[in-house]
């Protein structure tokens, strides 16, 4: 059974994320800008950790995947060949009643349901006014290359990182002498002029993707598709600590499949606004390489020496979004509990994604305690992601660390000056142990391993 998420959770998270420095509205002092956000000191750390976990699983721990970084603006022919210029569009409808809002035709029913209105009625979700005829709206942002703003100079901000991998397929084969199957992975910003962005940072106009194209021999694609679906589902549970009950793999219906896909599964999370996509895994067949081969006139086939055979490889693509994983981790980790008559807010983040792993807290601001605590924190920095905090009472500082998900806190008190020992407090159970300062790094390492094991238990629901 999935856990029913709190309906007000997103509002709670928006406030916590702003207050603690995870997420700020972009250009806020000018009133913000729709569906664009900035990430504060803690959000930046959390995002980096998400990317690092992906990079570790998809590149560092594997011997069959090469990384790449390609430009955001590419030759516009790339987007003609890929089908984005002709078909990367959503159906747009205008309200011709009082509010004049614009909607995605295929989101009308959901938007009306969200506002408590009959989804069967074709009318404006906001003001119930009549709607115009749908027209196709291309989601790519356009700009001009060079000083002249003319059609011939039109270029696009990439709407996905994937095409950078396809157009470099032959370069990577030639420079690495890779044999099939192998993958090319890339992480970077993408841009879509979404008609109905929203749900906080779920649907943005500028977002970050982590994509991998796994090139393989036709005929081996079905098995590899199954493998990558299972592997990507596993990653969320074991590497990020997302709870299994709130995750599912949903196969696409035939009429939902993208034009390039033979099969696709979404990894979905149960958000307060319903099950929604975190990552798509698609069998893209030879669609992209064949399209670029045709359009560019360059040979993008692969020569299999052993079989003395030349063919255009098939591709399995797991494509994830950093921002969606970010909001998932906040939703999944957020917890409230009663402690001595007060509500304690805890972000039960996996220790490898939490912005900080260890907070060092002197009991008071007395110079002799600060000095010792600062030197302890300095020594721990090379091994752990640490924070030093000496503001406010120790109780409030523990609460703040709980709220930002720091799994361990080290408290330096007056006894520490005498016994050269400190107290380690653990976030989830609030248990405390006293350890000698010289054994602190090893003790913290062991405690973090215990936190990792608990995160896995929590994710697996045991």
The closest alpha carbon to 199, from 347, 32, 21, 37, belongs to 37
Minimum distance of ligand GAP from residue 345's CB (angstroms): 26
Looking at the Cβ atoms of 265 and 416, the one nearer to ligand GAP is 265
Angstrom distance (rounded) from CA 247 to CA 321:
15
Neighbours of 181 (CB within 10 A): 18
Q: How many CA atoms lie within 13 A of 401 on its CB side?
A: 31
Binding positions for ligand GAP, 178-197, rule CB under 6 A = 192, 194
How far are the Cα atoms of 83, 125, 156, 376 from residue 80, in angstroms, in the given order?
5, 34, 11, 57
126 binds ligand GAP, rule: CB under 6 A: no
Which H or E run contains 369?
Answer: helix 367-380
Strand partners, 73: 157
264 binds ligand GAP, rule: CB under 6 A: no
How far are the Cα atoms of 20, 25, 97, 119, 277 from residue 40, in angstroms, in the given order?
8, 10, 40, 38, 25
Helix (H, G, I), strand (E, B) or coil at 346: strand
Minimum distance of ligand GAP from residue 279's CB (angstroms): 5
280 binds ligand GAP, rule: CB under 6 A: yes
In angstroms and rounded to an integer, the radius of gyration of the C-alpha atoms of the chain is 25
Interface with ligand GAP by CB under 6 A: which range of 93-101, 116-124, 274-282, 451-459? 274-282
Binding positions for ligand GAP, 309-328, rule CB under 6 A = 317, 319-321, 323-324
Contacting residue, 173, 270, 278, 361, with ligand GAP by CB under 6 A: 278
The closest alpha carbon to 19, from 48, 2, 42, 36, belongs to 42
Contacting residue, 204, 361, 408, 455, with ligand GAP by CB under 6 A: 204
211 binds ligand GAP, rule: CB under 6 A: yes
Minimum distance of ligand GAP from residue 64's CB (angstroms): 20
The residue with its CB nearest to ligand GAP is: 321
Minimum distance of ligand GAP from residue 80's CB (angstroms): 17
Contacting residue, 187, 209, 246, 265, with ligand GAP by CB under 6 A: 209
Minimum distance of ligand GAP from residue 340's CB (angstroms): 40
Angstrom distance (rounded) from CA 283 to CA 221:
7
- Give the binding site for ligand GAP (CB under 6 A): 160, 162, 192, 194, 203-204, 207, 209, 211, 277-280, 317, 319-321, 323-324
């Amino acid at each position: 059974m999935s856990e029913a998420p709190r309906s007000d959770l997103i509002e709670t998270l928006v406030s916590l994320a702003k207050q603690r420095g995870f997420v700020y509205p972009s250009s806020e002092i000018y009133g913000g800008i729709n569906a664009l956000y900035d990430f504060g000191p803690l959000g930046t750390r959390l995002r980096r950790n998400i990317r690092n976990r992906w990079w570790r699983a998809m590149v560092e721990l594997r011997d069959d995947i090469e990384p790449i970084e390609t430009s955001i603006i590419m030759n516009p022919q790339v987007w003609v060949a890929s089908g984005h210029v002709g078909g990367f569009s959503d159906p747009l409808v205008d309200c011709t009643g009082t509010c004049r809002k614009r909607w995605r035709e295929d989101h009308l029913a959901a938007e009306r349901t969200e506002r408590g209105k009959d989804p069967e009625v074709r009318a404006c979700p906001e003001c119930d006014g009549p709607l115009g005829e749908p027209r196709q709206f291309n989601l790519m942002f356009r700009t001009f290359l060079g000083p002249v703003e003319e059609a011939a100079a039109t270029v696009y901000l990439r709407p996905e990182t994937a095409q950078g991998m396809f157009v470099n397929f032959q370069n990577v084969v030639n420079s690495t002498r890779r044999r099939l199957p192998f993958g090319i992975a890339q992480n970077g910003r993408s841009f879509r002029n979404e008609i109905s962005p929203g749900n906080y940072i779920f649907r943005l106009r500028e977002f970050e993707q982590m994509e991998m194209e796994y090139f393989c021999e036709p005929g081996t694609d079905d098995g590899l598709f199954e493998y990558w679906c299972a592997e990507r589902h596993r990653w969320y549970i074991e590497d990020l600590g997302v709870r299994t009950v709130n995750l599912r793999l949903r196969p696409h219906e035939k009429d939902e499949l993208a034009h390039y896909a033979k099969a696709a599964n979404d990894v979905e999370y149960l958000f307060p606004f319903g099950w929604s996509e975190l990552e798509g895994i698609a069998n893209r067949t030879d669609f992209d390489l064949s399209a670029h081969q045709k359009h560019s006139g360059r040979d993008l086939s692969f020569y299999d020496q052993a079989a003395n055979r030349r063919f255009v490889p098939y591709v399995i693509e797991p494509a994830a979004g950093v921002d969606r994983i970010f909001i998932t981790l906040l939703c999944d980790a957020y917890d409230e509990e009663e402690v001595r008559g007060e509500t304690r807010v805890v972000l039960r983040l996996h220790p490898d994604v939490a912005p900080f792993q260890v907070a060092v807290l002197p009991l008071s601001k007395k110079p002799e305690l600060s000095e010792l605590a600062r030197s302890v924190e300095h020594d721990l920095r090379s091994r752990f992601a640490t924070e030093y905090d000496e503001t406010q009472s120790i109780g409030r500082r523990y609460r703040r660390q709980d709220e930002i998900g720091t799994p361990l806190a080290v408290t330096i008190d007056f006894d520490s000056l005498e016994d050269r020992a400190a107290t380690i407090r653990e976030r989830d159970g609030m248990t405390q142990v006293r350890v000698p300062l010289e054994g602190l790094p090893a003790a913290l390492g062991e405690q973090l391993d215990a936190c990792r094991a608990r995160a896995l238990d929590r994710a697996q629901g045991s």
